[in-house]
Amino acid sequence: MDKTATRALVTGGSGGIGAAICRRLGRAGHFVYVHAHRSIAAAHAVAADIVAAGGRAAPVLFDLTDAAATRAAAEKMLQDGPVQVLVNNAGIHDDAVFPGMSPAQWHRVIDLSVNGFYNVTQPLMLPMIRTRWGRVISISSVTALTGNRGQVNYAAAKGALNAATKALSLEVASRGITVNAVAPGIISTGMGDAAFDDDAIADLVPMKRAGTAREVADLVAFLCSEEAGYITGQVISISGGMV
């Protein structure tokens, strides 16, 4: 079987980093499911870009925090065969200092990253195991490794992904499936551009610049490749030397 011709799902595929990952996996030959919840038009546009470039893609629309809806979407995708590449990219910020953080802010961030990880990964796992080849990549954050003021909820959510990555990697390693996390630092994309000016970036990042969504996508694509088959259970920072 051609491992570059697998079917890939990228959650949050309509956003900055997610869209870059979708396009990169499309160029690598994967059929790409571009997931979105609210950004329906953006998901269609990313899928259209991949097709226009000679790849194969389709948008998929569901709410990751809705377990029943996510399982139904997974089962629909599985009707066409196993999904062997899964990129858990969807996530949100809802920042506040912890003493002022509302229950809604806490649960909203945890629910999407942590419960969303379970909701989409669990139904896809057994069909992936049966093929004895697969790649699961979760997009974490350096915040989970270093902490950050005002982001206790986000750090907790991404830290949970790191721990789940390590545990799941042990369960499926003998089945030819690798499970890793990628921890971006300051990346130039819509989610974080407004948070850091050039002076702040120069102070925080040893390389004195923000990373790009394409650089994150290139790392994810490598971890999804056959060449990365002996890398599993790792949390790999892409942060310009921040950590």
Write the CB contacts of 36 (distance below 8 Å, at least 6 apart in sequence): 12, 13, 14, 42, 43, 59, 60, 61
Token pair 């259970």 in the structure block, residue = 233
Determine which one of 33, 118, 154, 230 is catalytic: 154
Token pair 């999407």 in the structure block, residue = 112
Active site residue 230: no
Lateral strand order in the sheet of 31-36: 56-61, 31-36, 7-10, 85-88, 134-139, 177-184, 235-238
Distance CA 137, CA 218 (A): 13
Active-site residue set:
154
